[in-house]
Amino acid sequence: MSEHTITVAGVAVDTRHWIGGERVASAQTFPDVSPIDGSTIGEISRGTGMEAAAAVAAAKAAFPAWAATSRAERARILHAIADGVEKRIEELSIVETTDNGALLRSHRRGVMPRVAHNFRFFADWLLKLEHEDFETRGHTNHVSWDPAGPSVLITPWNAPLMLATWKVAPALAAGNTVILKPAEWTPLTASLLADIAAEAGLPAGVLNVVQGYGSEIGDALTSHPDVRRISFTGSVPTAKRIAESAAANLTPLSLELGGKSPLLVFADADLDLAVDLAVEQYDNAGQVCLAATRFLVEESVAEEFTRRFVEKAGQLTQGDPRGEATDIGPNIHPLQLEKIDGFVQRAVAAGARAVIGGHRKDGQYYAPTLLTAVAQDSEIVQEEIFGPVLTLQTFATEDEAVRLANDTRFGLAATLATGAPERAERVTAQLVAGTVWTNCFFVRDLQAPFGGSRHSGVGREGGTWSFDFYCDVKNTVTSPNGWNNHG
């Protein structure tokens, strides 16, 4: 076994970058620490501008041949990558759980199968991607999608491989080459993806994986003049820095950022359903950008809703995410835990009441928390926490519910619980959000547009929207005249 290989729960993972079809080590490393117990999993190659330049050069060199590869062949390779993922679901699951602390059972049953589906969906969508030709004064218009070029994809730590492949799959399907930069807190499954892609026959340089800190390698990637697309999922402050870097080259951006999404519960809702939706917001220890962290409940049912919520939330099991019965695992990093607790303690000092939780537990675990008596303009209501912390406010009228729901700088998602279809139609039409769920939560289809409004993001991806972003969309207009009729 190489000195650059670590073993994670029996799975070998290479800690070097993957550039131009080869493993490349850096002079320096950074520690990768498991949130489960705080142990160091391994030392990871720490990239700088040098590795960034090498990865972009490799992607640029590989681009012409990959862009010229037929749609059918690209789709075949993407399906082969999906096959490789499915063969290694157990390995990918245990490595990612060790790396980011999310539930092992969720990885096995949902997340890693979704990784494979990401590749299959975009491979199949590529083969049916078309726009019907149309006529203009006898001239024919033909729309096509031309590969844009090397694409930098910067991904978060809360669902590392699933969110990475949500970007990688359409970028590759579109004919682009890719430089993937995973979050430094969770780099391991991206390294395994490089192995799987190579085994599936993806040509060298088409997918490159580089690791390191944003300030050291991320800036070098996003400011590179040969990069043609940048897709980022993460925080608003980081997105602003990326946009500044990209501005000099006018590099198109897709940004999926934070959220402070509401759950609106009306008096006519099925309260048991509403409570189930509410408790679901503790998924992944609250580290879900789409989570409805602000409960807005009609006054007449607020007391009963709260009682049922507290009872159901009390049935959750928090602990080691590798346990089959565990519902909530640890938070990702000590810095994130400090941030979460800081929000809660400042809110309580300002008058908020912790109905449940409100405190740390041993290690990197934070007790599931619900805060009431919070002001609309308070930090706890306005800012993304990214932990198992929810707030509850009440409203008297439908108009007030909509006003409170829209009264943040974010607009990623919203969830609505009501028994009246007419109300659902009225309210959803007024909500500022990229996705709205009515009497359900987290139902996602890859053919649907995904993205946020306001500070929750720029652009939409999914289905044809992904190809619109990763390609240069071209319209070719042909005159019926001028042919020389030479046959």
**Residue 65: CB atoms within 10 Å:** 12
Query: From residue 71, how far is each of 116, 127, 129, 355, 418 by CA, in Å?
Result: 19, 6, 10, 55, 45
Q: Which of 51, 289, 298, 471 is catalytic?
A: 289
Q: Is-catalytic flag, 324?
A: no
Burial class (CB in 10 A: 0-12, 13-18, 19+), 442: middle
Q: Is-catalytic flag, 440?
A: no
- Residue 101 half-sphere exposure, CB side, CA atoms within 13 Å? 31
Q: How far is 341 from 347, CA to CA, in rounded Å? A: 10
- Which residue type, as a one-letter code, is found at position 269? A
- Which residue type, as a one-letter code, is found at position 181? K
Q: Which of 51, 91, 184, 256 is catalytic?
A: 256
Q: How far is 373 from 307, CA to CA, in rounded Å? A: 16
Q: How far is 350 from 344, CA to CA, in rounded Å? A: 10
Nearest to 151 by CA among 130, 132, 173, 135: 173
178 close to 151: Cβ distance less than 8 angstroms? yes
Look up residue 159 and give its DSSP letter: S
Q: What SS3 state is found at 89?
A: helix
Summarize the chain as % helix, strand, coil (round to 5): 40, 20, 35
Q: Which residues pair with 235 in a beta bridge?
A: none
Query: From residue 56, how far is each of 49, 65, 150, 255, 368 by CA, in Å?
Result: 10, 15, 7, 20, 43
Q: Where would I find the beta strands (DSSP E) of 259-417?
A: 262-265, 294-298, 353-356, 369-372, 389-395, 413-417
Region label for 351, one of left (φ > 0), alpha (ψ between -120 and 50) or beta (otherwise) = left
Catalytic residues: 256, 289
